Amino acid sequence: MNARNLYFAIVKDLKRWARDPVGILLWAFIPLVIAFVMKLAFGGDEVAVQAKLVIVDPQPSFVTGLVKGSFSQGPLADLFEVTEADSADAVASVRAGRVSSALFLPRGFADDYLRGKRPQLRLLQNPAEQILPRISEETMEVLIDGATAVRTVLGGPIEQVVDLTQAVSPPSDSTLFDVTSRFRGPAETIGAHLFPPSIEVVDRKVGEGGSDVGREDGDPGVGFMALFFPGVLIMSLLFVGQAVAGDLWEEERIGTFRRSQTLPGGANYLVLAKLIAGAILLFVIFFALLVVGRYLLQIELQSLHLAAAFLALTGFAFLAGLSWLAVIAKSQNGGAVLSNLFIMPMILLGGGLFPLESMTGLLRTIGTHSPTGLILQDVKGILYGRPDWGSASVSVAVCLVIGLVLSFFIARQARRRFLGEA
């Protein structure tokens, strides 16, 4: 293949895209707009999303006080904004959309619970909201499970205490000692699980290859935006790759592809040049996005040049794959449809829209082993200072080989599609 012709073909594509950059830049920066929205939604420490809960307690007691107080203790205090009201005001607040949920404690709730009956709680949810009312419902289910467990373990002593509080004469010392002894046994049994808790909560951060490791002292760790931002790069890669792949049909429309057959190398050098030019374009776009992420979104990103180069080199294979899908189809619109069938699963399951760390079970397994998921794990290591250069090198080598092999099939399929060759 004539290197000079290859060089001029690369320059030709870069100049064409530079003269009309709006389309490609639009696709490249749409994911960045999503990142800004996520930054506004989750990035501020001063604004917190809370579920507004109003509680109706027509017969206040020690037990109902524990129920209401549970929403203002520990992490739940940051999650809920709790107020009290009567039944009419609570219903009106839900209907007006001022609160997410209303919890109605029935009369006699405390006595029914202490006596081992099954008091009925009613939770009225705001139909205009989807997530926050569900949080209230799931929190109530957890609290009910905990209260049921306590009543099961300490049921006997609790009923004895209730009987003593309703007795006319004060209890004797022996009776008090007996009650205390009955509490002591179950309390010691469950105490090892409650004091201290059996589950320890530790901060997590992204380690080498995107794995989770414990946070070291003084390490700032990685927040939600830091986990989300690499997905922006993946979305940009796929969107720009689709635009570059569709450019083959533009070459056919203006006659460039047919004229290329008169030169040494023909379609092979034209396709390879377009893929190389696309990789150069990706490097420029990725570097710009990384600069925005570091200085505008305030994400602590490292090694911007290396990360942009890694994404551009591995993106070579994605450009080739999308170009192959483009020329398999019988029309440019058909190629866009085929490309979307590949792009959407990669975005949804491969970490493009949802961080892999937020997925669980089978979805996370699929995501981490998808093409974009594998690339994400390497680029996160580069960006956050824990690169696995062995894995990154293998990824680059594999993607370059795949891209080169696919370029041959793309050129052959393009000749069949555009020139009618057998």
- Look up tokens 């008169």; give the residue: 262
The per-residue pLDDT for 167 is: 54
Q: How far, rounded to the nearest angstrom, does the alpha carbon of residue 217 sit from its chain's CA centroid?
A: 26
User: Sign of the C-alpha dihedral, residues 6, 11, 16, 17?
Assistant: positive
Q: How far apart are CA 398 and CA 380, in angstroms?
A: 19
Q: In this predicted structure, what is the pLDDT of residue 99? A: 85
Distance (Å, rounded) from C-alpha 191 to C-alpha 136?
28
pLDDT of the residue at 25: 80
Instruction: Name the amino acid, one letter, at 411.
Output: A
**Would you identify the CATH topology of the domain 51-153?**
abc type-2 transporter like fold (3.40.1710)
Alpha carbons 98 and 421: distance in angstroms, whole number = 68
How far is residue 414's CA from residue 422's CA, in Å, rounded to a whole number?
11
pLDDT truncated to tens, each residue of the chain (422 aa)?
567 778 888 888 888 888 878 878 888 888 878 777 766 665 544 434 567 889 998 888 877 887 888 787 766 777 788 889 998 999 998 888 788 889 998 888 877 777 777 778 888 887 766 567 777 888 888 777 777 766 666 555 556 555 555 555 565 556 555 556 555 555 555 555 444 444 444 444 443 333 343 344 333 334 567 777 888 899 899 988 888 888 888 888 888 788 777 666 677 888 898 999 999 999 999 999 999 888 887 888 889 999 999 999 999 999 999 999 998 988 888 888 888 888 888 888 887 777 776 676 688 788 888 899 889 889 988 988 878 889 899 999 999 999 999 999 998 888 888 887 75
The confidence score (pLDDT) of residue 204 equals 42
What's the residue count for the chain?
Answer: 422
Cα 154 → chain centroid: 42
What does the alpha-carbon distance between residue 42 and residue 338 come to, in Å, rounded to a whole number? 34
**Nearest partner of 275 among 23, 27, 14, judged by Cα:** 14
Dig out the tokens for 71 from the structure: 């929403």
pLDDT of residue 243: 86
| pLDDT at residue 347, rounded to an integer | 85
Look at residue 308 in the predicted model and tell me its pLDDT: 94
CA angle (47 as vertex; 98, 52 as ends), nearest 5? 25
pLDDT in tens, 120-173: 888 888 776 656 777 788 888 877 777 776 666 655 555 655 555 555 556 555
**Alpha carbon distance 6, 1 (integer Å):** 8
Distance between CA atoms of 281 and 43, rounded to whole angstroms? 30
- Please report, for the chain, the start and end positions of each structural domain, with discontinuous segments joined by +: 3-42+209-419, 51-153
Q: What are 30's two structure tokens?
A: 């749409």
Tokens for 48, please give them. 């917190």
Under 8 Å between Cβ of 372 and 346: yes
What tens digit of pLDDT does each residue of 170-199 get?
Answer: 655 565 555 565 555 555 555 554 444 444
Burial class (CB in 10 A: 0-12, 13-18, 19+), 165: exposed
